[in-house]
Structure 1
Amino acid sequence: MKLDQITVRQIKGVSAQKEQELHAFGVHTVADLLDYFPFRYEDYRIRGLAETKDGEKVTVQGKIMGAPVMQRYGRAKSRLTCKVVVDGVLVTAVWFNRHFLQEQLVPGREVVLTGKWEQRRLQLTVSDSEFPDKGTAKTGTLQPVYSVGGSLTQPWMRKTMKQAITQFGSLIEEMLPVELIDKHRLMPRSEAIMRIHQPDDTAAGQGARRRLVYEELFLFQLKLQAYRSLNRSRKDGVAIVVDPEIIRSFVRTLPFELTDSQKKVVNEILADMRQPSCMNRLLQGDVGSGKTVVAAIALLAAVKGGHQGALMVPTEILADQHMRSLQKLFEPVGLQVALLTGSMTERKRRDVLAGLQMGLIDIIVGTHAIIQDGVVFRSLGLVVTDEQHRFGVNQRSILRRKGMSPDVLTMTATPIPRTLAITAFGDMDVSTLRERPHGRKPIKTYWVKHGMLDRVLGFIRREVDAGRQAYFICPLIEESDKLDVQNAIDLHIQMGQAFPDMPIGLLHGRLGAAEKDEVMRAFSDNEIKVLVATTVVEVGVDVPNATLMIIMDAERFGLSQLHQLRGRVGRAEHQSYCVLIADPKSEIGRERMKVMTETDDGFEVSRRDLDLRGPGDFFGTKQSGVPEFRLADMAADFAVLEEARDDAADLTTRPEFWSDAIYARLRQRLQSDQLFQGELLD
C-alpha cells in the first residue's frame, strides 16, 4: 500500500479529533504528514555561558544551590526563582507560571535548563527544564518545531511524527533515479525523511534538507521542462509570417519612438511566432516600460498573418482601458477591436460572438470570458495575457479542446532578476524591457513622517488645482483593534472634511465588482479628484492624469508592492510624485523607505526586496505563478534550482526518459500532475 493511500487515523495515537485537526493543516495521509516539515529546530545541546551572547537562547547544565522562592500574581500567575551554579558562575534561574516545579528544585540536584540568557543580571529566563536523574528526553538534541494549533502541540506532533516513521518508514519510496542521487551525492529519500524530522546533529539535518530541497525543485522543473520539450516537438501551432514592412509601417504611425529594448523584444516575439510550434513567452518589464505597445505589434502581426488576436486581463475596467488604447493605436491600419466581458448585455454579447466566429473582429479584449464556452474564433493565432493571468495548463487545455493552438505571450510588471526568471519560469522564454519610454519623467519619491500630513494635504491641493489627480493608499479597509495603522474608511471621511469642495472616491476589496468599476470609471473620467483606496489599485489601473501617489503607513508594505503602487502614476508627460508616510520602528522598514527614495528602477527594487524579505514574500503575490515550496527558498537555493533545471531539461529531451522502466515513477508523477490528457499535452 502507498503512503498517500494510508490515512493519518491509522497512525497509533491519532484520535478522530486529532485527525480532524490535522486536516485543517492539509494533512490527510501519512504521506502528507511525513512531508509536513519543521520550519526550524530548538537546540537543546549543552553549551557554556562563556560562549553565549547576551539575549541568546542556550541550554546549560548546573547544580541547584538554594531553595526556590515562589511569588504569586493574581489567581493563575506565578514567578519561581532559584540559584543555580553553571560553569562556576552563580546564576538566577526564573520560571514563569511553573509553580509545580517548586518541589523538584532540591538543593544539590543536577538540572538542565533552556532559556534566554541575560548576561548583565546573570539571569536565565527558563522555557524548558529537565533533570538528569530522571532521564532527559531532549537534552543534547535538536528538536523539530512545526506549525501547530488547537490541541496539536509540539510534543504531540514530535511523538506522532516519530510513530509514523516507525510504523510506515519502510514504505517510503525513492522518487529520484540513481544517476541523480549519485551525481549530487544525495541521501536516500527514506533516510532524508527520517533525518529532517529527527536530526542527530546539524550535519544530518542539513544533508536531509539538501536532498529534499533538490527533490522538490527537480520535480517542479521536471514538469516545466517536460511541458517545454513536448510543446516544442509538436508542430500543430500557428506559424505566423508577416512582411516586415507591414510592421515598420505601423511603427511609423505611433506617436512616439520605440526604445532599443522594445525593438529587441519585438524581434524575439516575431521570431517565435514564425515557428510552427506554439510560442510560450514571458514579457517582463518595469511599470510604465511600454509592454502594451509591444503586445499591440504582436497582435498586429497575428492579424496581418491571417488570424485573430485576444488580450486577456484581470478586470473589466482594465479590459475597457486596453480596448480604448488598442482602438486608438490600430485606427490608422483599420483593425477591428472589440470588448467581451461578463457584464455585457446579452444582445451585445451575441453580436461580438458572431463577429468573432465570422472573422469580422480582428482582436478581442476581455476578462477570462474570452475563453469560456460559447466563444468561437474563426482562427485564433495569439493570446496575450496581462498581469495576474499567467496563461496556465487549464487555459491552454480549453483552447486545444476548441481545436486551437495559439501562440501565448504573458506580460508581467513584477520585474524579476533575469536568471531567476529564466529558472522560475522554466517552461517559458523570457523577454525583458529595461528602458523607460522616451519622454517619461522619473517619479520623484519622498519619505515623510506622519506629523507632516498637513503639508501632504497642501501638496494634494496644488496638484488638483493644476488639473491633476491623486491616489491615497491605506493598508486596511476599516479600523482594527490589533493594528495601529490608518484605514481607508476613516481616511475617506478625513479627506472629505479636509477638501469639502473636492470629489473624493473610496475603493476597497469589499465593494462589489460593479461598484469598483463605477468608482474607477469616475476616477478615469476625472470626476473623482482624490481616490482613497487599499491595494486593489496595485495592478493594472491606468489613469494618465493621476500624478500623485500617497501611501499611508508605507513601512507595512513590501518593496515590490510599494514600487507597483508607485507605478500607478508617471504614466504621461506630467511630472509625478510618490509620497511615503511612515514612522518605521524596524530596521527593515527604514531600509524599505531608503530604497524607494534612492531608486525607481524596478529590477533594482526587486533585487533589494529579495535581499530583505526573501522569495517567499517576493513571489507571495501569486501574480508570478511560482508555487510556494515546502522547503526550498528561491534565492538561497538558487544554485540547486539551476542544477535541478539542467537535470530536468537533460532528462526530458532523452527518448529513453519516455519509455524506460527506471523513469516510470517520474512519468507517473507527471501524469498525476495532470500534465497530459491522453496523448496530448494539456
Structure 2
Amino acid sequence: MTGRPEILWPLFADLKGLDGIGPKTAQAMEHLDIVAPRDLLFTLPYSIIDRRLRDSVQGADLPGIVTVEVTIGQHRAPSKRGAPYRIDVDDAETRFQLVFFHPRPDYLMRVLPTGQRRVISGRVELFDGVPQMVHPEHILDPDETDSLPEFEPVYPLTSGVTQKVMFKAVADALTRLPDLAEWIDAEQARQEGWPTWGDALRRAHAPEGQNDLAPTAPARARLAYDELMAHQLTLALARADRRKTRGIVTTGDGRLRAKVLKSLPYRPTGAQLRSMDEIAGDMASPEKMNRLLQGDVGAGKTLVAFMALLVAVEAGGQGVMMAPTEILARQHLEGLQPLAESAGVVLELLTGRDKGAERQAKLAALARGDIQILVGTHAVFQKDVEFRDLRLAIVDEQHRFGVRQRLELGKKGQGADVLVMTATPIPRSLALAQYGDMDVSLLDEKPPGRKPVKTALISTERMDEVVDHLHRAISEGRQAYWVCPLVEESEVSDLIAAEARFKHLRAVLGEGVVGLVHGQMPHDQKDAAMADFVAGKTSVLVATTVIEVGVNVPNASIMVIERAEIFGLAQLHQLRGRVGRGEAASTCLLMYQAPLSESGMKRLTTLRETEDGFRISEVDLEMRGAGDLIGTAQSGLPRFRVADLERQAALMAVAQSDARRLLADDPTLQTDRGKAARHLLWLMRQDEAIRLISVG
C-alpha cells in the first residue's frame, strides 16, 4: 500500500495532458479545486442546455436556446462603425437574422456562405417582433449534427475556463477511465439499480434530461455513495485503529451511584438511564471508549456525565470534566457540587487562574489521588498536571475542541475512556459525517419539571412595548437576558450595538439594574458581570452571543433576542435554552425587523412551533446546508464533490453500516472486495485511511 496503484495513474496524471488544456487553463482550473483528471471527472454538470434539433424558431419558447437547420441568405455588412453585422437565414417555416458585433466579415463569409445549409444553435430573442440569434454558439455542417449532444452539460466555471474547454477536457478524461473492480456490495447495487463506477461517470456527464441531474438519479446516487463510503471507511478504520489501543477495564460496584439516585427528587428519564448503561458498559470493556453524548438543551446531560465519573471513582480511579471556558467550568462545578456531596466524593476546580502555592497544592492532591473528580479548562493539558489514575475524561462542547486536543487528552491517561458531550443537536447525517468514528448516546427526552418556553415573534417597531413588559417583570423580581445582534463581521460594531442597547435600557430601567457582557471585554470584567447577574444583583443582562453556551441562571425567565432573523436556527435554539430552567413560566421574544424574508420567516416560525432541537436542526440543515450549519472551516466536515448531505442523508447511514461491516469481515482489506475498496480510498484521496491500513 506504499504508493498509488498503477491502474489509477492516468486519473492522477498532469491536467495539461488533456485535450485543450495548456499551462494557463490548468492554473485557472485550480480555482475550481481541479488539479488532476480525477477532479475533473467528479465535477459534474449542474444543469443542461436543450440542443435538440427543431424545424423552426417559430413556436419555440423565446427568449431561449434553439437549434435549427437553416439556409444561409444575404450578408448585410454594417453601414456605420459599431453597428452590427446581420445575416438573413431561413428555417423550414420562417426567416430570421443572425447578428454579430465587431465581426470579421471574411471569417463569416467562410463559415456561413450564402446559399449553403447549416445547423446553428444559440440564444434566440425577439427584437421588434423579428427573431434574432446573436452570436450562435454552434455552427455545423448538417452531416456533423451528431457531434452536438441533444442535451449539453453545463459545468461550473471560473475565469479563464469556458464551457467548451470543460466539455472537451471531460470527454478526454472519460477515455482514461480504468476498469476497476466493484467495491459496492453486489446485492445493494442490484437493489438500488446502480450502474458500475465507470458507467456512472459516463452517464453523469451525458445527462439526457432534467431528471439525470437530480441527486436521486442512479448514476449520481452511485457516485455520491462512493464518496460517502470512502469517508465512512476512513472513520471506521480510525475507529478500529483506536479500538486496538488497550483501554482500562473500569467497573464500579454501584455504591456511589446508588447514593446519588436516592438523593434525587425525581427519577431519571429513560434516555438518561439508557445512556448511563451504555457508558458504563463501554467503560467495563477492555477497548477504549470513544462516545458522544448528544442531548438537547436541558435534557439532563450533567447527571449522566456525573454518573459516568462515579464509575471511575468506584473503581478506585479518577475522572476529569473539561469545559471550553472558565465560566462554563465554574458552572459545571456548581452543577456537580450537590451531586458530589450526596456521593461523598472530592471534587475540585483547576483553571488558568490557579497560581502559585494554591495551584501546587491542587496538583499534589491530584497526583496523590486525593482529588477524585477534577473540573477544568484547557489548563488541564499543561505538562505539570498529573493524575494518579485517570480513567475517564469528559469533554464538553465538542466543536470548540479539536481532534488534536482529544489526542492530547489520551496522553494524560493512556487508555483513559473519553466521553464527548454536546448540547447542539445535529441531524443524524451530519453526526455521522462528523462523528462517524464515535458511538453515540442520545438524550432525546426532557426531564420532568422542565416547563416549556413560550416563544413569540414581535417586530422591532414595538421596542417600547417590550421594554415596558421588561420593566413590569423586573419589578416582580424576575430576570432577563437581552441578546444583541451580531451586526457586521467587525466586532467593533457589535460592541457599539451592545453598548447602545445597554445605555438605553439603563436609562429606562435605572442604574445598577442592567449589566453588560460582550466579546471585547477583559476576562475579569466579563466574569464579574456574569457573577452579578447570577447572584441577582442585576436584573437584565445585555449580551452578544457569548451567553449561548451553558450559562445557568434559574431565576432568568425572559429572553429577548434582537434582530432574531439574522441568527441561525441552532443558535436561537441554544439561546432560548438559557431560560425555562426555574420555577417561573418563561418567555422568549424573537424581535425581527420587518419585512421578513421567506427564509427568515420560516426560521422564526419553526422556533415558535417546536422546542425539539433535533427537529429544529433538520430544518436548519434543509435551509442552510451542511457547511454553514457547523461552520465548515472548523467542523472537520469533509468537502464532498458529488454527495449532498442535505438531500442524501439516508445514504450516509447506509455507508456507515456498510463500511463497518466490510471491516468486520475483512479488517485488512485483503479480499477481492477489500482490494477494490483500497482503490476507492486512493481514488477519493483518503490518505489518512491508507496510512492506517498500511500500518495495520
In the superposition, the TM-score normalised over structure 1's length comes to 0.79
Pair 1:189-2:197 in alignment: yes
Quote the Cα distance in structure 2 between the aligned partners of 1:9 and 1:456: 64
Asked if 1 retains the 8 angstrom alpha-carbon contact of 2:296 and 2:614, the reply is yes
Quote the Cα distance in structure 1 between the aligned partners of 2:53 and 2:330: 65
Partner secondary structure for residue 236 of structure 1: coil
Question: In the alignment, which of 266, 288, 298 is matched to residue 298 of structure 2?
Answer: 288
Quote the Cα distance in structure 1 between the aligned partners of 2:131 and 2:532: 62
Letter in 2 for 1:303: V
Partner secondary structure for residue 321 of structure 1: helix
Asked if 2 retains the 8 angstrom alpha-carbon contact of 1:554 and 1:580, the reply is yes
CA spacing shift, 1:199–1:58, aligned 2, 3 Å:
same
Asked if 1 retains the 8 angstrom alpha-carbon contact of 2:96 and 2:132, the reply is no
Partner of 2:655: 644
Pair 1:355-2:365 in alignment: yes
CA spacing shift, 1:151–1:132, aligned 2, 3 Å:
closer
1:620-631 correspondence runs (5 A): 620=631, 626-631=637-642
Q: State the shift of 1:526 in Å.
A: 5.1
Q: State the shift of 1:537 in Å.
A: 3.4
Question: In the alignment, which of 39, 46, 49 is matched to residue 40 of structure 1?
Answer: 46
Q: State the shift of 1:317 in Å.
A: 2.3
Partner of 1:59: 65
1:232-381 correspondence runs (5 A): 234=244, 236-254=246-264, 256-342=266-352, 344-345=354-355, 349-371=359-381, 373-381=383-391
Residue segments in structure 1 that go unaligned for 5+ positions in a row: 71-75, 481-485
Partner secondary structure for residue 499 of structure 1: helix
Select between 464-473 and 286-295 the one with higher mean Cα deviation: 464-473
CA spacing shift, 1:597–1:339, aligned 2, 3 Å:
same
Higher relative contact order, chain-length normalized (CA < 8 Å, sep 6+): 2
Partner secondary structure for residue 326 of structure 1: helix
Letter in 1 for 2:333: M
Asked if 2 retains the 8 angstrom alpha-carbon contact of 1:3 and 1:29, the reply is no
Quote the Cα distance in structure 1 between the aligned partners of 2:542 and 2:495: 6
Quote the Cα distance in structure 1 between the aligned partners of 2:522 and 2:11: 41
Quote the Cα distance in structure 2 between the aligned partners of 1:442 and 1:378: 44
Find the structure with the greater CA-based Rg: 2
Question: In the alignment, which of 390, 393, 397 is matched to residue 387 of structure 1?
Answer: 397
Identity of aligned residues (%): 35
Partner of 1:73: none
Q: State the shift of 1:219 in Å.
A: 1.3
Question: In the alignment, which of 445, 469, 476 is matched to residue 480 of structure 2?
Answer: 469
Pair 1:598-2:609 in alignment: yes
CA spacing shift, 1:479–1:412, aligned 2, 3 Å:
closer
In the superposition, the TM-score normalised over structure 2's length comes to 0.77
Q: State the shift of 1:478 in Å.
A: 6.4
Partner of 1:574: 584
Quote the Cα distance in structure 2 between the aligned partners of 1:412 and 1:553: 26
Partner secondary structure for residue 398 of structure 2: coil
Q: State the shift of 1:129 in Å.
A: 4.9
Q: State the shift of 1:446 in Å.
A: 0.3
RMSD: 5.0
Question: In the alignment, which of 215, 226, 236 is matched to residue 237 of structure 2?
Answer: 226
Give deviations 1:73-110, integer Å, cap 9, x for gaps. xxx9x9999999999899999x9xx9558999x99998
Letter in 1 for 2:575: L
Q: State the shift of 1:579 in Å.
A: 1.1
Letter in 2 for 1:189: W
Select between 369-378 and 418-427 the one with higher mean Cα deviation: 418-427
Partner secondary structure for residue 653 of structure 1: helix
Letter in 1 for 2:656: R
Partner secondary structure for residue 225 of structure 1: helix
CA spacing shift, 1:226–1:351, aligned 2, 3 Å:
same
Partner of 2:221: 210
Partner of 2:644: 633
Asked if 1 retains the 8 angstrom alpha-carbon contact of 2:183 and 2:673, the reply is no
Partner secondary structure for residue 547 of structure 1: strand
Partner of 1:431: 441
Q: How many aligned residue pairs are there?
A: 660
Partner secondary structure for residue 673 of structure 1: helix
Give deviations 1:301-346, integer Å, cap 9, x for gaps. 2112111112122223212321332234313334233334456536
Partner of 2:554: 544
Give deviations 1:609-643, integer Å, cap 9, x for gaps. 34544555445478876544332233532343333
Question: In the alignment, which of 125, 130, 133 is matched to residue 137 of structure 2?
Answer: 130
Asked if 2 retains the 8 angstrom alpha-carbon contact of 1:177 and 1:663, the reply is no
Asked if 1 retains the 8 angstrom alpha-carbon contact of 2:394 and 2:419, the reply is yes
Select between 294-303 and 531-540 the one with higher mean Cα deviation: 531-540
Give deviations 1:144-163, integer Å, cap 9, x for gaps. 332x5454555555555455
